[in-house]
Chain A
Amino acid sequence: MADKNGFFDLSKTTLSRRTALKGMAAGAGLALAPGFVRYSQAQSSAPIKIGFQLHRTGIGAAYGRWYERTSAAAVKAINDAGGIGGRKVELVIEDDGTDPARGAEVVGKFAKQHKTDIVFGTLFSHVVIGSAPAAGENKIPYFVVSEGHHVASTKLNRYVFQPGITDVKSQIKSMAPWIAANAGKKVTQIFPDFAFGYDHRDYLPPALKAQGADVIAQIAIPPTESSFTKYFPQIPAETEVIYHVMVGPAVLTFVKELGEFYGSQRPQLFGFMDSLEAVDINSPGLEFLDGSHFWEGSPRYAQPDDSAAQKAYRAAVGIDDNGAAVGDPKDVSTASHMFGCWETLYVVKKAMEDAGYKGPEDRAKLVEATEKLKEFAEGPEHPQGPKIFNGKIHQCFGIQNISKVEGGKLKVVHKTKIEDGLYEPEGDYTTQAL
């Protein structure tokens, strides 16, 4: 492959100084053009602008679509009831491509260009971790719906909150007793090889140990992997339970290949719904999951004992009894996570009203008001269930569901209590300067 055609010969394509100057001038002109930046300070009657950092593209896109629908439904409900402190709420959406570097840029863009009041809505843990410093630098409150333990670990900063969904460490702690008692004592863990997976890697073994069970093998799989059979020989033969939590588009392949590998002679399976969010449980190849158990944040399938609030929430978001979009049974929701968007927006509403929030100059007051929140009662604003909030670690704690795959549906067989998932705080954000 000699460079006959001068592919890499830069001298052939030198930019003349004039061209470069022209380009720069055009860029500067664009930046000064009206409508590009100049947003005036929020007036008292102007809408509250919520910057929505959305995974519209990239590996989080399936989640992103449902985060968008749920948030839009919540904003509509809030606005129909009079908005926040009498002001309408408006979502300003920027796509972060499920990419940490772009995530940080998006947060900066919200703070400096859109001048939104807060930033909200991020799911993927690596994006949250990548974006959090930008939120701290810009001193803009950043409400994530991510489930990872990074917020509660107090390793981020005072501007980052997770008030709408329980973190992984707490989820694991509350479910470990059930796993040890009902599924088996020898557990092999399969998890994605990045931040979110590490929460599972680090917190499951001690949680199971406390229940007299053991993690006998831990298998990390790169998040971009598309074929899994090659990892299965690492699963020890004496494994009683395979604990799987996977993310990304290849999860279906993962389950199918596990099925091909084991056939009917499989160990017990306990999975996190993350493995199958936005995937129809009746997809070909998933028969293998029949009889296995899953963690669910909020049940995908309507349950007989659903509260009125849960029913109203499902109707508002537009999902049917099977957890798919009304009118399109193939468009399956990410029910275990997206409720967090709805609940977080109501937490923002409560905190803003408590703080007497007027505009970006009150952001510090908003942070302090959020930190003062203690509990959220179950109801239309919190349809997933009651929660308590720890202002020191900026994290809420709620109930978790364990569901069994039965007849092509997920049936809740166990609900944990809030106390099951509480742990000692690892730090205190409130000691940090604002």
Chain B
Amino acid sequence: MHFGPHLLLAALEGLVTSAVLALTALGLSLVFGVMRIVNVAHGEFFMLGAVLAWAISTAISGHPAIGFVAALVIAPLMVGLVAFFAEWLVLRRLNYNPESTIVATIGMLYIIQQLALTFYGPEARPVEPPFSYRILLPWFGYSGYKLSVVAASAILLVLTWLVLTRTRIGLIMRATQYDRETAQAFGIPVERVYAGVFAIGAMLAAIAAVLIVPISQAHYLMGQDPLLLSFIVVIIGGLGSLRGTVVAAILIGLSDGIISMFFSPTLAKIIATLVVAMVLVFRPQGLFGTTQR
């Protein structure tokens, strides 16, 4: 294959990775930004979204699109509910202490993972895409669904941005992020904001998972990679910065696609990790993060 089409394919693949990564990392970043919690179980919420998407789409007969749309609505809501409950049951009782919550979310990671293994099983199960249109380029074919994932992700990112910057809920969230105590003094129910943010963070991961599951199947261990990549993205972009998260996700996704296609996937991972190290050394707050007060 010639260089041009080869690069195009690499870029397309990278874009799909970026799109899903941006949504997942945004959830992680939001939770850290507002709650100052490093949520190690974030990848498992992603996995839970995919597994539920499988369950919902197989329960609904008829055209695959019906099942998929149902999954896209119901699965994130259910994951949000689980996260809301976990926040109330565990994190709140730890007073959001950073060290304790890391350990607690590691525990949550294992609990969710093993429950999925027990009730869903060890195999990878496919979800049918809502439509299967194959875009025929002169050099190779490409899945139309994959491109729609990129579009859907972009719309969701814009929506999240609008909510955060243009609505009252967003204002309250930003206030809590800016200064928890002052926000509380102004009558903002900080605990409820925390519960909501934790649920929204998990829901973003779940939405990303529902979008990706027709491409790569639901499997109980699928949460590990997204977690790692999300951390990389969030560190590079700056914890709590929406813009930074999106830019870093595109950067990591595209470079992963292009480097792994022209060189090797291992090299792509090496470079991503190296970038993280460099960012931590020279710009610890991340590319777009603000210095902590």
Q: Please list the residues of chain A having a beta carbon within 8 angstroms of any beta carbon in chain B.
A: 1-2, 4-5, 7, 12-13, 57-59, 61-62, 64-65, 222, 224-227, 229-233, 237, 249-253, 256-257, 260-263, 278-279, 283-285, 330-332
CA distance A298 to B125 in the complex (A): 23
Picked from A7, A224, A263, A279, the residue with its CB within 8 Å of the CB of B134 is A263
- The answer on a CB contact under 8 Å between A4 and B219 is no
> Which of A5, A64, A227, A262 is most buried by chain B, counting CB atoms within 10 A of its CB?
A227
- The answer on a CB contact under 8 Å between A4 and B292 is yes
CA distance A331 to B143 in the complex (A): 28
Tell me if B260 counts as interface (CB < 8 A to partner A): yes
- Inside 8 A of B107's CB, which chain A residues have their CB? none
Minimum Cβ distance to chain A for residue B9 (Å): 6
- The answer on a CB contact under 8 Å between A249 and B284 is no
Chain B minimum-CB-distance residue to A221 = B265
What total of chain B residues lie within 8 Å of the partner, measured CB to CB?
52
- The answer on a CB contact under 8 Å between A284 and B9 is no
Tell me if B142 counts as interface (CB < 8 A to partner A): yes
CA distance A5 to B260 in the complex (A): 37
- Inside 8 A of B17's CB, which chain A residues have their CB? 227
CA distance A344 to B266 in the complex (A): 38
Tell me if B87 counts as interface (CB < 8 A to partner A): no
Picked from B222, B257, B266, the residue with its CB within 8 Å of the CB of A249 is B222
Q: Please list the residues of chain B having a beta carbon within 8 angstroms of any beta carbon in chain A.
A: 1, 5-6, 9-10, 13, 16-17, 36, 64, 98-99, 102, 114, 117, 121-126, 128-129, 132, 134, 136, 140-143, 215-217, 219-222, 225, 235, 239, 257, 260-261, 265-266, 280, 284-286, 289, 291-292
- The answer on a CB contact under 8 Å between A283 and B284 is no
CA distance A262 to B142 in the complex (A): 9
User: Apart from A62-B121, A226-B225, what 18 extra A-B contacts exist at CB < 8 Å?
Assistant: A5-B36, A57-B117, A57-B122, A61-B220, A64-B122, A222-B265, A226-B222, A227-B16, A229-B13, A229-B142, A230-B10, A249-B222, A252-B126, A261-B142, A263-B136, A283-B126, A284-B64, A285-B132
CA distance A329 to B140 in the complex (A): 35
Task: Show 18 residue pairs from A and B whose CB-CB distance is below 8 angstroms, ordered by the A residue.
Answer: A4-B292, A5-B36, A7-B98, A61-B117, A65-B122, A222-B265, A225-B265, A226-B222, A230-B261, A233-B1, A249-B123, A249-B221, A256-B126, A256-B215, A260-B134, A262-B141, A279-B124, A332-B123
Minimum Cβ distance to chain B for residue A164 (Å): 22
Chain B minimum-CB-distance residue to A262 = B141
- Inside 8 A of B285's CB, which chain A residues have their CB? 1
Minimum Cβ distance to chain B for residue A317 (Å): 17
> Which of A2, A61, A229, A252 is most buried by chain B, counting CB atoms within 10 A of its CB?
A229
CA distance A237 to B140 in the complex (A): 11
CA distance A237 to B6 in the complex (A): 13
- The answer on a CB contact under 8 Å between A230 and B9 is yes
> Which of B10, B122, B219 is most buried by chain A, counting CB atoms within 10 A of its CB?
B122
- Inside 8 A of B5's CB, which chain A residues have their CB? 233
Minimum Cβ distance to chain A for residue B224 (Å): 8
Please give me the 6 A-B residue pairs with the lowest Cβ-Cβ distance, nearest first: A61-B122, A249-B124, A249-B219, A62-B123, A284-B128, A230-B261
- The answer on a CB contact under 8 Å between A252 and B141 is no
CA distance A64 to B126 in the complex (A): 20
CA distance A252 to B221 in the complex (A): 15
Minimum Cβ distance to chain B for residue A264 (Å): 10
Q: A222-B266, A230-B10, A252-B124 are in contact. Are A2 and B140 (CB under 8 A)?
A: no
Picked from B117, B123, B141, B220, the residue with its CB within 8 Å of the CB of A278 is B123
- The answer on a CB contact under 8 Å between A227 and B221 is no
Minimum Cβ distance to chain A for residue B139 (Å): 9
CA distance A237 to B114 in the complex (A): 44
CA distance A278 to B217 in the complex (A): 13
Q: A1-B285, A2-B292, A260-B142 are in contact. Are A224 and B260 (CB under 8 A)?
A: no
- Inside 8 A of A225's CB, which chain B residues have their CB? 265
Chain B minimum-CB-distance residue to A7 = B98
